[in-house]
Chains A and B, each alone.
Chain A
Amino acid sequence: MEYIDYYKTLNIEQDCPQAKIKQAYRQLARKYHPDINKDPGAEEKFKEIGEAYEVLNDPEKRAAYDKFGHNWQQGQDFTPPSDWDAGFEFSGSGMGRAEQAGFSDFFSELFGSRQFNQGQNQSFSMQGEDHHAHIVITLAEAWHGAKRTFTLTKPEINTQGQFVNKQHTITVTIPKGITAGHKIRLKGQGMSGHGKGKHGDLYLEISFQENPLYSSIKRDILITLPITPWEAALGGKIACPTLGGTVNLDIPTNSQSGHKLRLKGRGLCSTSHSGDQIVTLKIVIPRAITDEEKEVYRTMAKIMPMDPRQNMKG
């Protein structure tokens, strides 16, 4: 397994006083919390910070970890000596099973099994915890509805009482008209229960893959449609792409860049709710290169003089 430099993760020195560790953790936790930081790597970073804090904030674990010495590099291949934890007492932390799920193999190997071994023979029943996962689908899948297969990583407890990450594959029906933020609940697919306790549920939260043409706000689909100056001035029907195929869009005469047109019912529609497609017009001006082309612009200036900055004069 790979060595993890927990001091580096929390961006602190190895002789950092115990009191400063919490401070370092809190600052990084606020920065990388996945509800606050929407970068794709934030969730992973947040887990790493949590794992580092779990070890370094506990003086017993920190002392045992420090025993490996400080010459190890992040990512270096590492096997702990068989007697590495001799002489250390572990009281177990306040962290629950769910929090420790998703920690690295390095953590599980060194500290993971300690508290789970406690009380394993006791007879009690408890419902398994619910699991939450994000799944990314395309806008087209949301528009039409689809059946998709996802591979998810699920923490499970092995026979030694340790957490291991196991991959499992699920096939899910994506209902037509689902939108970002909606959730799909899969009954009994969360953490297994204790004793006679039921399995928890698995919640899949939907987010959309980026699309070069479209974006979405709730059920509305947004698109920017480039048009020529003569289409904008004279109006008329032009072809406009939608997730359900191309439609003819009526451009009103004298349209301007930034004007918005609404295609009713062309957004993400479920059986009970409908969304629209909102088309923002963007006038693209042809370049004048030849003399003839330049003459067209000069003629326009002569025939229809205008001052678009008239309201800006101080």
Chain B
Amino acid sequence: MKEEHSNLYTSILIDENTNWTLQEFSDFCSQSTDMILEMIDEGLIVPFGSSPAQWRFGLREIQRAQTAYRLICDLHVNLAGAALALDLLEELEELRQKSHH
């Protein structure tokens, strides 16, 4: 994470360097740590590190957790359904990019 300054607001860039602990990640996603643990159990997000204390969450986990949460709220799918939709959406995006070139 890197500090950037605009002429009006303090902004923080969330990119590949983002490397958050479980607590930082759950605060950012406005989700309980229990919900995050369920997402990990489902294989929906895979943090780096071997134990919860060492877990680190990056940009891909943020994107997947937020999209999953929106799908769960808006489409009333369960975690497994959200995980499946995310995997298929990622595959679709890869295919789109390949067919583009």
User: Taking beta carbons and an 8 Å cutoff, which residues of A are in contact with B?
Assistant: 26, 29-30, 33, 35-36, 46, 50, 130, 147, 170-173, 175, 178-179, 181-189, 203, 215, 217, 222, 224, 270-273, 280
Contact = CB atoms under 8 A, between A and B. Distances in A.
A182 B101 contact: no
Given A30-B75, A130-B30, A187 B6 contact: no
Contacts of A182: 13-15, 59
How many of chain B's residues touch chain A, expressed as a range? 20 to 34
Given A33-B75, A35-B67, A272-B17, A222 B101 contact: yes
Kindly list the 3 A-B residue pairs having the minimum CB-CB distance in the complex, ordered from nearest: A173-B6, A183-B14, A185-B12
A35 B70 contact: yes
Contacts of A173: 4-7, 11
25 contacts: A29-B74, A33-B75, A35-B67, A35-B71, A130-B30, A170-B6, A171-B8, A172-B6, A173-B5, A173-B6, A173-B11, A175-B13, A182-B15, A182-B59, A183-B13, A184-B4, A184-B13, A185-B12, A185-B13, A187-B12, A188-B9, A203-B14, A215-B101, A222-B101, A272-B16
Interface of B: 2, 4-17, 30, 59, 62-63, 67, 70-71, 74-76, 85, 89, 97, 100-101
A187 B10 CA distance: 6
